[in-house]
Structure formats: structure tokens, C-alpha cells
């Protein structure tokens, strides 16, 4: 499964990119607004930091304006994925942008029927929102499973991008359900590596090593 980070924090993106684990970035107008910086400048800077897709979202509501904004965003860098909402106008924009060669991430997906329509419109990515579904008593992971089966049934190439992820358990369950990508906040991505037994084992190894009085680099 690919890992995208869901943030517009440049420092966090740089730190995670240095691990080699980062496959892309997702942003939205709210995340970029939190930086207090110019929207376009932030998008361009992020696109320079990572090789993989960087989702940048349109703010228009009509298809014509979405297409206009999307084409401009796609022109900023070759790895920009234009993010459009899962509305009829968004699907029209998706088809037009894909026909023009742009990557498109169709966002705010909450049903398998919506995901089916997005795939038929040529979406590069579909973004089902797990956490928001869980918040209203629905099963976000079950939605991933349904989308996976539908896409496999008909050979759709649209990648399932699990979004609104709140915890490491969401990441594990999304991977088991067949998501192609998980986009996670930096905090959650960093939490994936932690386990108390790893910390305990490392502490024991270091104490034993310290007792020997040796140094691996001694004499270098």
C-alpha cells in the first residue's frame, strides 16, 4: 500500500520524505489556509519536495470553473493531481481533465455507488472518507471492501485512496480491505512505527551493550 501524507506543513513533508516511505501528498484548501501562505506557492513547493502525486483541490462549484482551475493547477507541476468533489459537476470536470492528461482525485466519497461513478468518469484516485463515516455510525472499512470488489469486478484502474484516517488501526484495516493508498496526517504516520515491545527490546540491547564498554567505531 502507498502512503500519502495529508498536510500542507512543509517541514513535516520534508521530514517524512527523508524516510523514503512517502509516496505522495494530499492537501485541501483548509490545510493550506492553516499555513497562512499563498495557496499556489505552497502547492508548487510541495510538488518540488516529492516525486509522487500531490493533490491540490479546486474551489469552484461549476464544471466549467472546476475545469479552468484544474487545468491551471495541473500546469504547476507534472505530479499535480487535481482534486474535485464527488458531485455531477465534479464528475464532468474529472472527465474533461482526464481527457486532457491530468491526474484527478475525486474526493468526498461516502458510498460505493459514488465510487463506481467516479471510476466511470476516469478518476485516477477515489477518496472514501473513513473517519467521517465512522462519526455518523457507518462502517468506513466496509465501504473500502465494497469499492475494492466493484473495481475488481469490472477492471477499473482507479486507485482507492483511503482518507479521513484517524488512527493506526484505520491504516491496518484499510490495507486489509484492499485500499491502494492511505493518506494520513503526519502524527498518525509517525505512530505506525511505534510499539512498546520494540522500545523495551531496544532499551535492553543498549543496556547490555553499554555494560561491555565497547564502541563499534573505536579505532576508526
Residues carrying an active site annotation: 83
Do residues 104 and 98 touch, judged by C-beta distance below 8 A? yes
Cell 500546469 identifies what position?
75
Bridge partner list, 107: 85
Residues near 140 by beta carbon (within 8 Å), at least 6 away in sequence = 128, 129, 130, 131, 132, 133, 134, 164, 170
**Residue labelled with grid coordinates 512517502:** 22
Q: Are 104 and 86 in contact (CB under 8 A)?
A: no
Residue 103 · residue 82 · CB < 8 Å: yes
Phi then psi for 178, rounded to 5 degrees? Answer: 100, 15
Amino acid at each position: 500500500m502507498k502512503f500519502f501524507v495529508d498536510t500542507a506543513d512543509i517541514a513535516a513533508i520534508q521530514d517524512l520524505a527523508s524516510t523514503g516511505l512517502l509516496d505522495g501528498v494530499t492537501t485541501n484548501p483548509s490545510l493550506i489556509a492553516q499555513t497562512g501562505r499563498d495557496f499556489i506557492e505552497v502547492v508548487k513547493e510541495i510538488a518540488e519536495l516529492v516525486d509522487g502525486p500531490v493533490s491540490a483541490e479546486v474551489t469552484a462549484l461549476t464544471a466549467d470553473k472546476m475545469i479552468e482551475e484544474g487545468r491551471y493547477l495541473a500546469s504547476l507541476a507534472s505530479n499535480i493531481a487535481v482534486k474535485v468533489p464527488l458531485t455531477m459537476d465534479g464528475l464532468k470536470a474529472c472527465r474533461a481533465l482526464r481527457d486532457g492528461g491530468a491526474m484527478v482525485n475525486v474526493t468526498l466519497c461516502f458510498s460505493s455507488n459514488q465510487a463506481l461513478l467516479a471510476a466511470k468518469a476516469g478518476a485516477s484516485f477515489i477518496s472514501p472518507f473513513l473517519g467521517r463515516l465512522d462519526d455518523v455510525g457507518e462502517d468506513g472499512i466496509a465501504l473500502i471492501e465494497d469499492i475494492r470488489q466493484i473495481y475488481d469486478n469490472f477492471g477499473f484502474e482507479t486507485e482507492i485512496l483511503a482518507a479521513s484516517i484517524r488512527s493506526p488501526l484505520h491504516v491496518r484495516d484499510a490495507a486489509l480491505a484492499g485500499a491502494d493508498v492511505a493518506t494520513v496526517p503526519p502524527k498518525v504516520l509517525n505512530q505506525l512505527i511505534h510499539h512498546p515491545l520494540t522500545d523495551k527490546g531496544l532499551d535492553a540491547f543498549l543496556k547490555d551493550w553499554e555494560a561491555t564498554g565497547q564502541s563499534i567505531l573505536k579505532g576508526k
